[in-house]
Amino acid sequence: MLNVVTHGTRTGTAPLLIAHGLFGSARNWGVIAKRLSDEREVRAVDMRNHGESPWQDTHTYTDMADDLAAAIDGTHDVLGHSMGGKAAMVLALTRPDLVRKLIVADISPVVYGHTQMPMIEAMRSLDLARIETRGDADRQLQSVVQEDGVRAFLLQSLDVKSRRWRLNLEALAQEMDKIIGFPDIDGQFDGPVLFLSGSHSDYVRREHRDRIRSHFPNAVFAKIPGAGHWLHAEKPREFEAAIRAFLKHGHKT
């Protein structure tokens, strides 16, 4: 079973389940999850091979959707970012009975050409035996990951005290083609769906819309100005407002 971090309490409104992206964790979503829990229970999960959830040899979207289904009791609204968004889409397509409304943050149901292997190689390059503090790890990573924000994000998954990554880097590397892909899947989810993307990101393109609507005929699209792929971290207030509006009204207002 996935590790679940719960915020708030059950109300008459459907709980919100949050599925993070690659190299992320439930803890990355703590601030937004806590704020959204003023109106409903919000449950953020650690995906398999991430955070405090079990490590598995496989990392397919079918597996991840099954994991999410097992974490749901009753109907939930579901929010997924990037890898978590793909898992949430597969959940909605295979178990529509579990999903009331779906929010897909900055990802499409398509195969992407980029790979995240350089990030895995960067984390593998860390000499864990020489790390006493997070600052030590940050200095080691600087030569291979120049962006301060990316290093800070990756290092959230480093358990400094135990000198280990909370990421199953071997399985993620082995399954990278599946992570950047999308399963050949039939089916439709007829409920309300919001594809929310950053205006500076190219993950959700206009040419993806026919594919999206073939699976999600009631999809609506919105962009957060000035945000990139990490829209929830870059523009948290605007992201939160868009989520609230969609969950309340079914579309972004």
Active site residues: 82, 170, 229
Q: What is the DSSP letter of 167?
A: B
122 CB-near residues (< 8 Å, 6+ apart) = 141, 144, 145, 154
User: The tokens 């949050």 sit on which residue?
Assistant: 18
Pairwise CA distance, residues 88 & 43, whole Å: 14
Pairwise CA distance, residues 216 & 99, whole Å: 13
183 CB-near residues (< 8 Å, 6+ apart) = 60, 61, 62, 90
Using CA atoms, how far residue 38 sits from 31, 32, 86, 219, in Å, is 12, 11, 27, 26
Using CA atoms, how far residue 178 sits from 46, 97, 151, 164, 196, in Å, is 19, 25, 24, 25, 23
Pairwise CA distance, residues 83 & 63, whole Å: 12
